[in-house]
Amino acid sequence: MSSISSKKLILVIGATGAQGIAVIDKLLAPSEDGSPSPYLVRALTRDPTHVRAKNLASKGVELVKGRFDDFKAVAAALQGAYGAYVNTDGFTVAEEIEVWSGIRIFELAKQAGVKHYVWSNLDYSFKLTGYNPEYRCSHYDGKGRVADFMQAQPSIVSGRDMTWSVVTSGPYMDMLQQGVFGPFNRRADGTFVFAAPIGQGHVPMIALSDLGFFARYTFDNRELTSGKDLQVASDLVGWDYLVSTFKKVTGLNAVALYQPMDEWFENFSGTEKHVANEGPGGEFVSWKTNFTAWWSLWRDDIIKRDWEWIRKVNPKGHTLETWMRAYNYGETINSGPTLLKNVEDTKSVTMNKERIVQL
């Protein structure tokens, strides 16, 4: 596969987001034996002039303009693609639009002759808990419903048919750099404050580099991953573990501040806005309502992972400690570009600085 013509073209939807960039980097990386990557990448992007899109183009990625809910643009982008990695954004469009888009893109991929379709998924928490409204998390359930639809479809490994796979991930470990996981404050005595309404629960975090690994693994192993839901993570993180690892790696002092849910939301402004930038497609779901359910999942340890399988498939994957060391954590907190493109573009929910400084 040394010639460009023999390489497999992968369309990545959600290409300029944090996940998309990590996935593309792994798809373009040399294979483990040192041989060139067997893949080329085409990226669907709303704005090819955005700095993130330009950075992808500099790596040899083909840019195609379009939104994931613009089905004419999606259909055109799928033409000639061997595979598709689809990560829709439930923080741009409402849950109802994301569900329909996920189903429709799957259908368009079948029509286009795509051979391997990979859906970037999140746990269907509402169904998983017997439709308990306490755990109805909009940006999780939207993706989970699409995965449910896919599991009713055939997945056939052949030269004519389409194989599908699901990669179910979770919160990015990289969010420790900034935002809801990173330390909110540094007190006058130098102590970092990690505040969360998690109690003694845990978050199955995934390093973006590991998510990229599993995406590449899925395409590299079409037959093995056909019709499978690969539920992936890097490490199971509780806040006592987070603080003790932080101290070990950085030598800096830190505390875990376990706040009640309502008190934690006071750390932010704008939490009554709709969780999707473009507003409701039907049901109104506020940022606070959505993330109350999200934190409840971790507080109550609802989401499980098969750690033996994860370590077997990705033996070089990160733990919390190895990730902190790899990224010089402590020196890099709240530095560098914004991780999540949605936050970078909108900043609709912001830190309540007057409150944060008092933590």
CA dist., res. 137 & res. 131, Å (int): 11
Q: What is the pLDDT of residue 348?
A: 67
Alpha carbons 171 and 207: distance in angstroms, whole number: 9
Structure confidence by residue, pLDDT tens digits, 6-48: 899 999 999 999 999 999 999 999 999 999 999 999 999 999 9
Cβ atoms 324, 243 nearer than 8 A: no
Looking up tokens 């409402």 gives 94
d(CA 230, CA 170): 12
Angle at 33 between CA 322 and CA 16, to 5 degrees: 60
Q: Where in the chain is the domain with CATH 3.90.25.10?
A: 173-202+235-303+318-356
Helix 287-299 / helix 138-150 crossing angle, nearest 10 deg: 70
CA distances, 31 to each of 233, 238, 326 (Å): 22, 34, 21
What is the token pair recorded at 260? 């009640």
* Mean pLDDT value across residues 234-263: 97
Whether the per-residue pLDDT at 2 is higher than 50: the answer is: no
CATH superfamily placement of domain 173-202+235-303+318-356 = UDP-galactose 4-epimerase, domain 1 (3.90.25.10)
How far lies 189's CA from each of 172, 186, 192, 349, in Å?
29, 8, 9, 28
Please, where in the chain does CATH 3.40.50.720 lie?
4-170+207-231
What is the average pLDDT across 319-340?
84
Reply yes or no on whether the pLDDT at 346 is more than 70: no
Distance from the first to the final alpha carbon of the chain: 56
Q: Which residues contact 277 (CB under 8 A, 6 or more apart)?
A: 91, 92, 342, 345, 346, 348
**Residue among 98, 270, 103, 250 nearest 186 (CA):** 250
Provide the 3-class DSSP secondary structure of residue 229: strand
User: How would CATH label the architecture of 4-170+207-231?
Assistant: 3-Layer(aba) Sandwich (3.40)
If 0-12 CB within 10 Å is exposed, 13-18 middle and 19+ buried, where does residue 308 land? exposed
| CA atoms in the 13 A half-sphere facing the CB of 46 | 13
Render 133-154 in DSSP notation, one character per residue: GGG--HHHHHHHHHHHHHTTS-
Task: Report the alpha-carbon distance of residue 63 to residue 61 in Å, rounded.
Answer: 6
Cα 242 from chain centroid? 20
pLDDT of residue 349: 78
- With a cut of 50, say whether residue 245 has pLDDT above it: yes
pTM of the predicted model, to two decimals? Answer: 0.94
Helices (H) and strands (E) in the chain, counts: 15, 14
Q: Does the structure show a pLDDT above 80 at 329? A: yes
